[in-house]
């Protein structure tokens, strides 16, 4: 079974996902059902658990931890490719390793906030 590593310049985002205290009840329930019946995959190989980390279609599932999700988006935004690539490039970069419901919307909001901040001298972001 393959392993995903998301470690860049001393930031281990995968470990932060594992350590997140925020959990999604629906995902927890599904994982518990998987464990109870001894099944390694759910819904045609779309969902699985490996060493306590949930994956959806080979991407690390990020729980409903707003701070962690914002950190992941910011991490990719601060890369040379992400900084000036626009909203869709940011979504592409994040989706290479991570997934959560509403990811595209959150990236769009982040980018809109960042762009507004560029033109507002009183911005504190």
Model confidence pLDDT, tens digit, residues 21-64: 676 767 767 667 766 776 655 555 577 777 778 888 888 999 88
Question: How far apart, in Å, are the Cα atoms of 117 and each of 12, 20, 107, 122, 124?
Answer: 28, 29, 15, 8, 8
Residue 1 belongs to some domain of the structure? no
In a domain, 92, yes or no: yes
Classify 85 as helix, strand or coil.
coil
CB-facing half-sphere around the CA of 105: CA atoms within 13 A? 4
In a domain, 125, yes or no: no
Residue 66 structural domain: 11-118
- The 10 Å Cβ neighbour count of residue 114 is 16
Give the chain's domain count.
Answer: 1
Question: Which of 31, 28, 32, 24 is closest to 48 using CA atoms?
Answer: 31
| pLDDT tens digits for range 69-122 | 999 998 888 776 655 677 888 899 899 999 998 999 999 888 777 665 655 555
What CATH number is given to the structural domain containing 33?
Answer: 1.10.340
Residue 72: CA atoms inside 13 Å, Cβ hemisphere, count?
31
């Amino acid at each position: 079974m393959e392993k995903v590593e998301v470690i860049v310049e001393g930031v281990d985002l995968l470990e932060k996902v594992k350590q997140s205290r925020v959990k999604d009840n629906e995902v927890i329930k599904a994982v518990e059902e998987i464990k109870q019946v001894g099944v390694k995959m759910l819904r045609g190989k779309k969902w699985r658990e490996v060493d306590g980390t949930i994956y959806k279609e080979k991407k690390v599932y990020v729980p409903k931890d707003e701070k962690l999700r914002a950190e992941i988006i910011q991490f990719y935004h601060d890369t040379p490719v992400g900084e000036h690539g626009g909203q869709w490039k940011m979504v592409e970069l994040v989706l290479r390793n991570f997934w959560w419901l509403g990811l595209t919307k959150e990236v769009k909001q982040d980018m809109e906030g960042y762009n507004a901040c560029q033109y507002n001298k009183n911005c504190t972001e």
